[in-house]
């Protein structure tokens, strides 16, 4: 079994080599944004897939290929173990767009010199256009782009044409004279590059001559068929949390195999207020799915006692989740598969297992969380998607609006929203504050604008005055962000009067809280969750 087939079988994705849709292949050099590029391409109704950086030109030539994109990555082209591509891809006669590291590698292969930049570019910078044709057609003379690089082109050579520059990067975008190669030293795929969609549109439609023959409904149909073929007559267990991801997975798998799906909901004692009742009502009444509830709250809280390190919390929660799951799964016959709502940001932030050098940021207990001794094979049909794409799938499957647009809630629950020790009393405090926060942003009509809102219990007591007496109570931090892909995010500019109501209600209604603060950091450098 070759690597592409093995990945397809393990992750339940259709064999892209057999697709009838025109296709853009993304060669992944370890970028944090690798799958985000694929998502942006799909937004333009063009089918895209991630490939290993070293995929052969022969295998690529067998695809319905319209173009290639070389992703960014953390390496330098001069590093001893820097990822490389098959240099024969430049003879495939399809357009190639190199982004950041992909630009540097392509330019180096085609004769340019790469050097360490005197001034590194990280974050927003101003790009000046020198050529408004092809890749930059219909672009303004100057625009903001998002850069993140230490190397850049030092000597361009006579075979390239300079297309754009920044203050510290004279060759911020280039085109080869004879090869169909374009390179940009910034990231058009991230939301912080406002004209990025236009740049990609120019590449896909004007340069690659794509027609846009792919829709998200194609993904649903192909995935349902792939699940049905893989599962056969076996039983699939779905780890259901009630969030968007697991809800969509449950619906998608149920569409494929019906009553062969059994959902397990683990009450870990770290849930929001009334969460268990909502999940049971929704999935037994709406989906008519066989739902088994496992009450494991005491075991989780006992294992977490006096544990303060966030990574250790995640490990413990993941381990207890597996124990609870084993307890319920042992009562189910013919169970061969486990369906999980793993998304691509989970995979990226947890680090890769297949040689991709993307850095590990934090553990996600649903990524590779089931050890081999459980005997289950994983089905992760959403593994290549981002949150907003999952919502599109949910809408296509006919899920209720309040379920599809529900804010993300972490698998470890409130355990990673309590900084420090997790206790029943602290959980009670945070549940009450969290309920007020969600109620008020809904009342203000902000819930759909905000991508994720959360309350965090901070392990700091501050002095206050309550009832003419000195108080020394807890601090609640409020976090709300706006994002389309959850790879980058800006803090939400909630109106001061709404923040004032939230603060007043929490301080007056939640026992033991005398101060509320608002988090105004963006991602990066901060993550969305605090732990």
Q: 113 forms bridges with which residues in the sheet?
A: 155
Q: Tell me which H or E stretch contains 196.
A: helix 196-201
Assign 176 to helix, strand or coil: strand
Q: Is 187 a catalytic residue?
A: yes
E strand residue ranges, 3-141: 23-28, 47-52, 65-70, 96-99, 113-129
Choice among 121, 169, 176, 187 that is catalytic: 187
Task: Please give the distance of CA 364 from its chain centroid, rounded to a whole number.
Answer: 12
Q: Which structure tokens are listed for 314? A: 């995640």
Residues 292, 262: Cα–Cα separation, whole Å: 8
Q: 418 φ, ψ to 5°?
A: -110, 110
In 3D space, the residue among 54, 65, 72 whose CA is nearest the CA of residue 25 turns out to be 65
In 3D space, the residue among 70, 103, 119, 123 whose CA is nearest the CA of residue 171 turns out to be 103
E strand residue ranges, 71-112: 96-99
Residues 310, 411: Cα–Cα separation, whole Å: 13
Q: Is 100 a catalytic residue?
A: yes
Sheet holding 290-295, edge to edge: 290-295, 261-267, 235-239, 335-339, 377-379
Q: Is 189 a catalytic residue?
A: yes
Choice among 189, 275, 349, 440 that is catalytic: 189
Choice among 51, 100, 107, 169 that is catalytic: 100
Q: Catalogue the active-site residues.
A: 100, 187, 189
């Amino acid at each position: 079994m070759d690597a592409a087939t093995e990945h397809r079988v393990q992750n339940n994705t259709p064999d892209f080599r057999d697709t009838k849709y025109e296709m853009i292949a993304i060669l992944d050099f370890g970028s944090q944004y690798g799958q985000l590029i694929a998502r942006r391409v799909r937004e333009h109704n063009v089918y895209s897939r991630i490939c290993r950086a070293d995929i052969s030109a022969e295998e690529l030539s067998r695809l319905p290929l319209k173009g290639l994109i070389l992703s960014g990555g953390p390496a330098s082209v001069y590093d001893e173990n820097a990822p490389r591509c098959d240099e024969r891809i430049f003879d495939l006669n399809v357009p190639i767009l190199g982004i950041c590291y992909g630009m540097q590698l392509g330019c180096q292969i085609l004769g340019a010199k790469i050097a360490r930049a005197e001034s590194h570019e990280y974050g927003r910078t101003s790009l000046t256009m020198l050529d408004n044709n092809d890749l930059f057609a219909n672009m303004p003379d100057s625009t903001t782009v998002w850069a993140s690089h230490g190397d850049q082109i030092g000597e361009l050579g006579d075979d390239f044409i300079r297309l754009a520059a920044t203050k510290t990067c004279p060759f911020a975008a280039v085109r080869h004279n004879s090869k169909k190669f374009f390179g940009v030293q910034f990231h058009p795929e991230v939301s912080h590059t406002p004209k990025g969609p236009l740049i990609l549109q120019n590449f896909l439609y004007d340069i690659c001559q794509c027609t846009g023959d792919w829709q998200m409904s194609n993904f649903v149909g192909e995935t349902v068929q792939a699940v049905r073929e893989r599962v056969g007559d076996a039983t699939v267990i779905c780890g259901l949390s009630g969030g968007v991801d697991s809800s969509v997975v449950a619906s998608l798998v149920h569409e494929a195999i019906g009553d062969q799906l059994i959902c397990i909901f683990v009450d870990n004692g770290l849930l929001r207020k009334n969460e268990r009742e909502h999940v049971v009502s929704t999935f037994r009444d709406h989906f008519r799915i066989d739902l088994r509830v496992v009450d494991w709250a005491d075991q989780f809280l006992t294992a977490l006692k006096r544990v303060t390190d966030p990574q250790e919390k995640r490990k413990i929660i993941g381990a207890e989740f597996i124990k609870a799951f084993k307890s319920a799964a042992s009562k189910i016959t013919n169970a061969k598969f486990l369906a999980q709502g793993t998304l691509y940001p989970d995979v990226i932030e947890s680090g890769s297992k297949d040689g991709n050098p993307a850095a590990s940021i934090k553990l996600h207990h649903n990524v590779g969380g089931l050890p081999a001794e459980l005997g289950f094979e994983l089905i992760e049909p959403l593994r290549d998607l981002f949150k907003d794409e999952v919502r599109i799938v949910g809408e296509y499957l006919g899920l209720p609006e309040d379920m599809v647009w529900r804010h993300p809630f972490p698998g470890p629950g409130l355990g990673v929203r309590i900084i420090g020790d997790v206790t029943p009393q602290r959980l009670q405090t945070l549940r009450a504050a969290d309920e007020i926060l969600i109620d008020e942003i809904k009342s203000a009509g902000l819930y759909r604008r905000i991508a994720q809102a959360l309350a965090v219990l901070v392990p700091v007591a501050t002095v206050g005055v309550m009832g003419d007496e000195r108080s020394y109570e807890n601090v609640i931090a409020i976090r709300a962000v706006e994002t389309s892909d959850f790879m980058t995010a800006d803090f939400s500019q909630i109106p001061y009067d709404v923040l004032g109501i939230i603060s007043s209600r929490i301080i007056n209604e939640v026992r033991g809280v005398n101060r509320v603060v608002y988090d105004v950091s963006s991602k990066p450098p901060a993550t969305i969750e605090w732990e």
